[in-house]
Amino acid sequence: METERRPGLHVQKKGIIKQPDPVKPSPNNTDEEDLDGEDMQKEALSRRNAWEPSVFYSLGSETFFFTGQEISIRESLDCLGAVVWPGAVALCRYLEKNREQVDLLDKAVLELGAGTGLVSIVASLLGAWVTATDLPDVLSNLNFNLSRNTRGRCRYTPQVAALVWGQDVKRDFPSSVYSYDYVLCADVVYHHNFLEDLLITMQYFCKPGTTLLWANKVRFQSDLRFIENFKNVFDITLLEEIPQEEVRIYQATARKSGQQHDV
């Protein structure tokens, strides 16, 4: 979940934050032994980035079980993006039980507003080459969770990158270089001021041949307005609705040239 931006928050500078690799590498050696908890923490801490806060207020951790693996997610009081939300859990369940319909094996996957990284972790465990993105101040915890839960378990090592919706996306992720088979989004729509930027970013990455999967809990009237705009921009299918959780999961693809409406 991407959190509200503040002045000066977009700190991406050439030579400080490396952009993600656009070309999928060779699969990892699946015989590599998993690290124990202490080693995984050392590995994550050794990869601290320039934006990591000096103080981290931890809520502890939540444990999930997907793809036969135990996933431990560290949460934080720092921001909304460091908490696991219902849409993320619902999307993980959907990906796990629909592996034939949504085959992520060897696919290039981008997650927008990755938050704690749960969805990116599950996608990685399902064999995808994942780039998890969010605001710079979320990336420390995101990187920690990805590292501790995927090291030695995944076919490809996931990447973490800063991405601010609607800002410098064309410069930092030029479409001539970056392309994705799937774009994943979970609980990125709630009461914030950047819904138009989010929709523009979704459109940018959802090229012909790309499938976008979006799971969200409907909380506010603004969520329903976003859904209507979403339907006007993409060809969409409601894949699943979970009434007790008020969560919907949509699949979207780019409209053919000439059919796209303005938001």
Which pLDDT value is given to residue 29? 75
Which pLDDT value is given to residue 59? 59
Which pLDDT value is given to residue 183? 98
Which pLDDT value is given to residue 8? 30
Which pLDDT value is given to residue 221? 84
Is the model's pLDDT at 56 over the cut of 50? no
Read off the pLDDT of residues 95-126 as tens digits, 9 standing for 90 and up. 999 999 999 999 999 999 999 999 999 999 99
Closest CA relative to residue 74, chosen from 113, 115, 111, 39: 115
Which pLDDT value is given to residue 6? 35
Q: What's the mean per-residue pLDDT of the chain? A: 82
Read off the pLDDT of residues 204-246 as tens digits, 9 standing for 90 and up. 999 999 999 999 998 888 888 999 999 999 999 999 999 999 9
Which pLDDT value is given to residue 75? 84
Which pLDDT value is given to residue 226? 93
Of 22 and 18, the one with more pLDDT: 22
Q: What is the pTM of this model?
A: 0.81
Which pLDDT value is given to residue 30? 54
